[in-house]
Structure 1
């Protein structure tokens, strides 16, 4: 009996320690080889009032004198800092990286935020306001603007409206025409699953545009290697568990990620995004433009991104296709991406 009691106490202690680690929410600082805080570094979770809403952001920098990069996440409503733990982007080797959670998303989620403020116009204005805050805080006249997936729909409009604020625009999985991209993905999967009777039958019974397709979409795309990353075959383990295990989020902040995702998906913003065609909205940028796409990306069709860049007018423009990536080359092939971005800074 005494042995069982000792084992039970040991298990409770292990579980308690594990929960404290998983749900502490404490930011992990940059340290040198001796474990001392790296001088000039910054590892911060903070909230700032932006256009009447408290918005959260995580700022990571090995040296705050480095150029500031504002990252505009996808979704709508899905922050991506959590993915940086399992798939380090290493962007902080070149930049002071600001992982901003957009209005209604993640750290910025609040049940008091009016859903009718989630519009394209408002998020573009928020992006510009966050930029102004960062320029003042870090005393840099211009910053780099990077966006991913849905975020590219917002950020490229901000870059078009306020080019004087930015050194360059970097679109990762640049969205152009979501409806056409989704139709192409569905057709691609019908071919990919031709010899898989179960998934083939499910896709045929629930074609693109139906509620049934929306229920199976994420699963079949990830199993086909065209989802978040080329090797993330499970949404549950690759996304849900990754968020749960992330050490720098409090439990309530992890819950907020899912609350914000639902909140944003049910907004006017999502409707506007799904119906938009950026070819009709933005035909010119006054700053250098870089598109980073994955060869396996059919979440946002990389062919459409490349065609759009050919049509887009800009003082400089570059398209890079990463052969081992799907939807997230900055997380899948960070070394190759850093080479591209390093050349941009030089």
Structure 2
């Protein structure tokens, strides 16, 4: 998939007559994207990682602990007990029970895909069917692909500590972090950012976002892309 992404980048560079283009990865795409940035820096102006993954299994453990605490604090003992009965450990990974309850619990406290999203079904699945750019078969295959690919990618993603093996880059690196994100833990993303060496690097915390700052705070995201990323600057960065 790294090689496929590079080939798509080459196609886009040729089609739009650009020597370098911007590489933007979100969530699982950030896991792929940052590896592409390391493998083929000559194709890209910069790399932007939104909800950048660093070490996903550790993030899952931290998410479970945070959610148990949050549901206890709001008095929802039923959900807290369900989470306590859904183990996630660094030794044994994620349980089936955890994977069944994970998204619902995150969205219940505004820490899932977006702060105001209550479920994947109403927030992503149904709206996707209204997008005219996708054909009917495209819309079906998106979800077929998600179901088919999980057994191949999930365990690899979970156990890969990117900070331990991938922290030197030849292009500018920018991270967009949602303050309330429990899918890709902001603390882990920040620690990964601190360990990175790059010609320019900028970290941006979106205070009113969870997992998707570009969609939750679009104006600020656009300002950063236009004022900082395209000019290799860090004027708006929270880590300037």
TM above 0.5, yes or no, is yes
- Structure-2 separation of matches of 1:248 and 1:161: 31
Deviations, residues 63-89 of structure 1 (Å, cap 9, x unaligned)? xxxxxxxxxxxxxxxxxxxxxxxxxxx
Query: Does residue 136 in structure 1 map to residue 14 in structure 2?
Result: yes
Query: Does residue 177 in structure 1 map to residue 62 in structure 2?
Result: no
Cα RMSD for the two superposed structures: 1.2
SS in 1 for 2:127: helix
Query: Does residue 298 in structure 1 map to residue 196 in structure 2?
Result: no
Where does residue 245 of structure 1 map in the other structure? 130
SS in 2 for 1:245: coil
Where does residue 91 of structure 2 map in the other structure? none
Q: CA deviation at 1:243?
A: 2.0
- Structure-1 separation of matches of 2:86 and 2:174: 36
Where does residue 207 of structure 1 map in the other structure? 87
SS in 2 for 1:321: strand
Q: CA deviation at 1:270?
A: 2.6
Alignment of 1:195-274 (within 5 A): 195-208=75-88, 209-267=94-152, 269-274=153-158
Q: CA deviation at 1:148?
A: 0.4
Where does residue 150 of structure 1 map in the other structure? 28
Deviations, residues 115-148 of structure 1 (Å, cap 9, x unaligned)? xxxxxxxx11111111111111111000010000
Q: Return 5+ residue gaps in structure 1 as ranges.
A: 1-122
Deviations, residues 176-203 of structure 1 (Å, cap 9, x unaligned)? 0000000000000000011102211211
Query: Does residue 160 in structure 1 map to residue 67 in structure 2?
Result: no
SS in 1 for 2:129: helix
- Structure-1 separation of matches of 2:131 and 2:223: 28
Say how many residue pairs are matched: 223
Where does residue 164 of structure 2 map in the other structure? 280
Alignment of 1:300-339 (within 5 A): 300-339=184-223
Deviations, residues 135-177 of structure 1 (Å, cap 9, x unaligned)? 1111100001000011111111111111111110101011000
Q: Which has the higher helix share?
A: 2
Q: Return 5+ residue gaps in structure 2 as ranges.
A: 89-93, 232-240
SS in 2 for 1:146: strand
Alignment of 1:35-184 (within 5 A): 123-184=1-62
SS in 2 for 1:266: helix
- Structure-2 separation of matches of 1:321 and 1:196: 29
